[in-house]
Amino acid sequence: MKSILHSKNILFISKYLLVGLQVLFLVSCISSQQVTQMGLAEFQNIKEKQKISKNQTYKKQVERVSKRLLQAMGETGEWEFVVFEDDTPNAFALPGGKVGIHTGIFQITKTDAGLATVLSHEIAHVLQGHSLSQVNKAQGVGLAGLAINVILLQSDADKQTIISTNQAYAALTQIGFMLPNSRAHEYEADIVGMQYMAKAGYNPAEAVKLWERFADYNKKKGKSTTPEFLRTHPLDASRIKALRQELPKANAIYQRSKS
């Protein structure tokens, strides 16, 4: 009897998970203009709270490399690149053409080509609309979850079923939807960014070298060994492999840029 009730409970939960996922794939609520405004506001907030670097060497290198990348791409929009005092080797991009670079990244970029790898990756995130995609998907996840709970309440589901359904939905959407989507965006920014830098006349092979240096850095620092399916970003080895596979295409672009 207990196993029968357990089976019915699983079927009950699965039914409402399916409803939620159907809602999830139909929802898209935020416009690109709204996401851009959110990005502009967030970047301004970061500039007010974090110390902006006064290192002229870093600043001039960022100006030089970013200008060359944007010119090669024919990108005429308003972009802003700011170097922040932060030892963490990182960079980030926000909608509206806002890019932040941590001073810690320069220990890994080393050269203009290395920095071009990082900046072109961040530019690709912006131009490929990754933030809009992520925000809409997160919005969809939230609304689908709300739909599940409304249906559960209307069906007089017991408390444990509601809790179990919500836990299953959260795990399913995070591991099976949001995280893979985030990793897909990272792969795309890597590949598209490598094409951007090649078009600007930077050797795309330097992108592979940059990520090899990043892998060495992470290994020395004993970074997390979390499995890839639980990460927002691909493993270093995975993205290096993907870049190597795409290198011939980027090399062709690079050769054309020199002719």
Pairing verdict, β 98-102 and 80-84: parallel
24 vs 36 pLDDT, higher one: 36
Confidence of residue 69 (pLDDT cuts 50, 70, 90): very high
Could you tell me the CA-to-CA distances from 27 to 45, 126, 153, 173 in Å, in that order?
A: 29, 22, 22, 14
Tens digits of residue pLDDT in 204-257: 999 999 999 988 988 888 765 555 434 556 778 889 999 999 999 999 999 999
Question: Which has the closest alpha carbon to 124: 155, 152, 156, 91?
Answer: 91
Averaged pLDDT for residues 176-197: 78
Rounded to whole angstroms, the maximal C-alpha distance in the chain is: 77
Query: Is 204 in a helix, a strand, or coil?
Result: coil
**DSSP letter string, 85-132:** ---S--EEEETTTEEEEEGGGHHHH-SHHHHHHHHHHHHHHHHTTHHH
Domain positions in the chain are 2-258
Two tokens, residue 130: 């990754």
What residues are annotated to the active site? 122
Separation in Å, CA 70 to CA 62, 74, 94, 243:
12, 6, 16, 21
- pLDDT at site 242: 93
Count the neighbouring beta carbons within 10 Å of the beta carbon of residue 71. Answer: 11
CA distance linking residue 97 with residue 114, whole number of Å: 20
DSSP string, 14-60: HHHHHHHHHHHHH-----HHHHHHHHHHHHHHHHHHSPBP--HHHHH
Highest mean pLDDT among 23-32, 131-140, 241-250: 241-250
